[in-house]
Structure 1
């Protein structure tokens, strides 16, 4: 059964806030030198997996670390990077850009569920950080962004986003209801590539590979 559509989800590689142990979110951290090398390797991997004749638009969070990654990919694919703020990472409000230890000392974890637990409560859980998005707010924003992207039919598409957002991009592709995403997490690593596909007969959507990092080598 042939694949008629592929969506490659890329998480940005190493950025300055990683090295500085600072909270990311909407903090506009740039790539490190190592991150720039990793972006080049991501681009090379996608070039090897996407036919040269295919239309492959690249959609990206508009934050600097994702935008720079997307520009490298788009240049290698002979296309352009298209900003979509809806693909941003979850906002951590007043914690953004602060030391990670500052957030850790104030963060309120969601309750551990049991058999009688209402899992939708986790979507609306407040983490104790002023201005931070709830899981539902971030998820709804990302779902809407991916929904817009998927209306633009192309045989191959690339989405460049962030670690937390990665889960919701996959959830929207698989058409999982947002209400079911209170606990769901698809593991991600900096600079990883996840491949999502749709077949030509049934229109079934598949998580073909998750968070691959082999392309990064020793970078």
Structure 2
């Protein structure tokens, strides 16, 4: 049986500063570091001792720092993969969120949504984001199974889950799987039917009352 534990990084400086994240290389806040410790402890409690564990992470500082806490408890080295990054917002990265909000062109209700131009110079299209996350997932799933931990971002989570359930890329323009910061999403494939389940989406029980949504 294969189980994927998909972590969205906890509170980062761009959250509290009100600036656009994306590829802007923000870092965890002190609260985010404490949440990362709780995430690692929750995963340690869920994964049996002696189980084979692989750890994959986006290479941005906020995800790397989260992965470091997990790596320490499991005694594994994280595999950093830039394809697991958040969507690039081009020139908006690191600017005030209101700057992006004034310029952002939302996708149409119908028609071309994947290659839609959002009106921000240098920003990735949804198609580009989907293609790189799907490629990263294809590589991760070449391993035989066991427990695999993926540390990524809230926006990228949609494409991790869509890839997992084998949603065609040309349909993913309408997909949205929302999860809070610091959450754990559990995906599982059984050994008999090889059905792929979404067991839990965006679980934050490990964060307690001070969770960082």
- TM-score range for the pair, normalised by the shorter chain length: over 0.9
Is there any run of 5+ residues in structure 1 with no aligned partner, and where? none
Please list, as runs of the form range in 1=range in 2, the aligned pairs for 1:203-218 lying within 5 A after superposition. Answer: 203-218=194-209
Query: In the alignment, which of 57, 69, 77 is matched to residue 66 of structure 2?
Result: 69
| Structure 2 equivalent of residue 33 of structure 1 | 30
Matched, 1:138 2:129: yes
TM-score (norm 1): 0.94
Query: In the alignment, which of 162, 174, 181 is matched to residue 171 of structure 1?
Result: 162
1:148-186 Cα shifts (integer Å, max 9, x gaps) = 111122300000000110000011111111111011101
| Structure 2 equivalent of residue 49 of structure 1 | 46
1:10-33 Cα shifts (integer Å, max 9, x gaps) = 000000000000000000000000
Matched, 1:162 2:159: no
User: Matched residue pairs, number?
Assistant: 210
Please list, as runs of the form range in 1=range in 2, the aligned pairs for 1:84-163 lying within 5 A after superposition. Answer: 84-113=81-110, 118=111, 121-163=112-154
Q: Distance in 1 between matches of 2:25 and 2:144?
A: 30
Shift in Å, 1:112: 2.2
Is there any run of 5+ residues in structure 2 with no aligned partner, and where? none
Query: In the alignment, which of 167, 170, 183 is matched to residue 192 of structure 1?
Result: 183
Give SS of 1:217's match: helix
1:29-75 Cα shifts (integer Å, max 9, x gaps) = 00000000000000010001111111111100000000000110111
Segments of 4+ moved more than 6 angstroms = none
TM-score (norm 2): 0.97
Give SS of 1:75's match: helix
Q: Distance in 2 between matches of 1:40 and 1:153?
A: 28
Q: Distance in 1 between matches of 2:145 and 2:195?
A: 16
